[in-house]
Structure 1
Amino acid sequence: MQSAMRIAQEEIFGPVLCILPYESEEEAVAIANDTVFGLGGHVQSADLERARRVARQIRSGQVHINHPAWDAHAAFGGYKQSGNGREYGVFGMEECLETKAILGFFPG
């Protein structure tokens, strides 16, 4: 399987592009998810609804559609071995908070 290639399995930082052929949308999603990492992904399509449908299925902390986007209010962080937790936006702020649940039973 082509997705077994090192370039398709490792989290490589830098100007790197890995293009793998696929026969169906389901196969494309399977290839994208066939890694232990999940920091970021990209979907390119002229059909925005299809791109959104595919993006929702990719197990990655961020998925860009049609171009690399940046939004300081969007959560940044990975899935799987790309790490837990989020930076930026509300999600990043929530990591700095201490949450308390007070539970009890108060009979009438």
Structure 2
Amino acid sequence: MHELAITQTIIDTVAQQANGVPVRRVVLEIGQLAAILPDSIQFCFDVCAQDTPLEGAILEIIEIPGRGRCRHCGHEMSLEIPYGICDRCDSLAIDIIAGQDLVIKTMETALCV
């Protein structure tokens, strides 16, 4: 389960950026072609966040659809797997243009009083 290591890296990165300030919410974008299971990240988040500034934070995950572009005709299409056949010219030469990334989109911290 590589999602545990990925989640720990997310926690470490956000905690470092928060600089000790409690974090209330984290928003991630996970591409559907990223070979990362959003449900597993969600499951690991609370465990990995214990005893960090992210403990008790809400994790929101936005799934980004996969998109590809045909190298032969330039047609763009949806991809559910990281390869495909162009539905316009039947070419196998498809470049992935979206859906492979994991991005920490935003984090919301608590106000210091």
TM-score of the pair, normalised by structure 1: 0.32
Greater helix content: 1
With a CA cutoff of 8 Å and minimum separation of 6, indicate the structure with the bigger relative contact order.
2
